[in-house]
């Protein structure tokens, strides 16, 4: 039995590593990443290699959100850099799936702006879909014309 289990365990580990490699290479959308975010490593100051280095494309979870590194850096020299606190280094993934909507994070650049079709959970508890062509860097409160409330129970229909 342990041989079968170790074979299954090895297969699952291989699938996880392959998926993370594809995410790191930019081969997955935010929707795909958030759909499998439970396999992402939790962010640590030490980074994946234990030396404090975080490389471009590196995915992780931190404080209930999935993130990607958008600028290589080391936390050895910059201990305050972490997802959610350093937008130049970390950008959140966004999803088009209303059932997986994450709380709105104020974009600071085009890289972390919401694209048409992506959703967020706003402070009123409702899920909003960006309907603006191109990058939407404003909240549902600041730019209501750029967002539409979606019906989560109806698969995201407006």
Q: What is the DSSP string of 17-84?
A: HHHHHHHHTT-S-HHHHHHTGGGSPBP-TT-TTSSSEE-TT-EEEETTEEEEE-S-EETTT-TT--TT
Q: pLDDT band for 5, please (50, 70, 90 cuts).
A: low
Please give the pLDDT value at position 98: 98
Same fold, 1-93 and 94-158: yes
* 138-158 confidence digits (pLDDT tens): 999 999 999 999 998 776 665
Q: pLDDT band for 111, please (50, 70, 90 cuts).
A: confident
Q: Which CATH class is domain 94-158?
A: mainly beta
Domain boundaries, given as residue ranges, for the chain: 1-93, 94-158
- Mean residue pLDDT across the chain: 93
Residues 6+ apart with CB under 8 A from 64: 102, 103
In angstroms, the CA 25 to CA 56 distance is 9
Provide the β-strand partners of residue 114: 136
Please give the pLDDT value at position 1: 47
* Closest-CA residue to 120 (of 138, 133, 134, 109): 138
Q: Are 85 and 105 in contact (CB under 8 A)?
A: no
Helix, strand, coil abundance in the chain, percent, nearest 5: 30, 20, 50
Name the residue with tokens 């962010």: 43
Q: How many CB atoms lie within 10 A of CB 123?
A: 10
Give the pTM: 0.89
Q: Are 147 and 118 in contact (CB under 8 A)?
A: no
* 58-97 confidence digits (pLDDT tens): 999 999 999 999 999 999 999 999 999 999 999 999 999 9
Q: Which CATH class is domain 1-93?
A: mainly beta
Q: How many CB atoms lie within 10 A of CB 125?
A: 6
């Amino acid at each position: 039995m342990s041989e079968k289990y170790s074979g299954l365990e090895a297969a699952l580990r291989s699938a996880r590593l392959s998926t993370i490699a594809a995410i790191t290479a930019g081969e997955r959308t935010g929707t795909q990443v958030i759909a499998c975010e439970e396999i992402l490593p939790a962010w640590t100051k030490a980074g994946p290699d234990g030396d404090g280095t975080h490389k471009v494309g590196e995915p992780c979870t931190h404080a209930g959100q999935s993130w990607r590194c958008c600028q290589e850096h080391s936390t050895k020299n910059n201990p305050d850099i972490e997802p959610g606190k350093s937008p130049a280094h970390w950008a959140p993934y966004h999803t088009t799936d209303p059932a997986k909507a994450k709380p709105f994070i104020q974009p600071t650049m085009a890289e972390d702006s919401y694209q048409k079709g992506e959703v967020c959970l706003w402070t009123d508890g409702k899920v909003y879909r960006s309907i603006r062509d191109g990058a939407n860097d404003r909240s549902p409160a600041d730019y209501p014309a750029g967002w539409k409330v979606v019906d989560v129970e109806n698969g995201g229909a407006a």
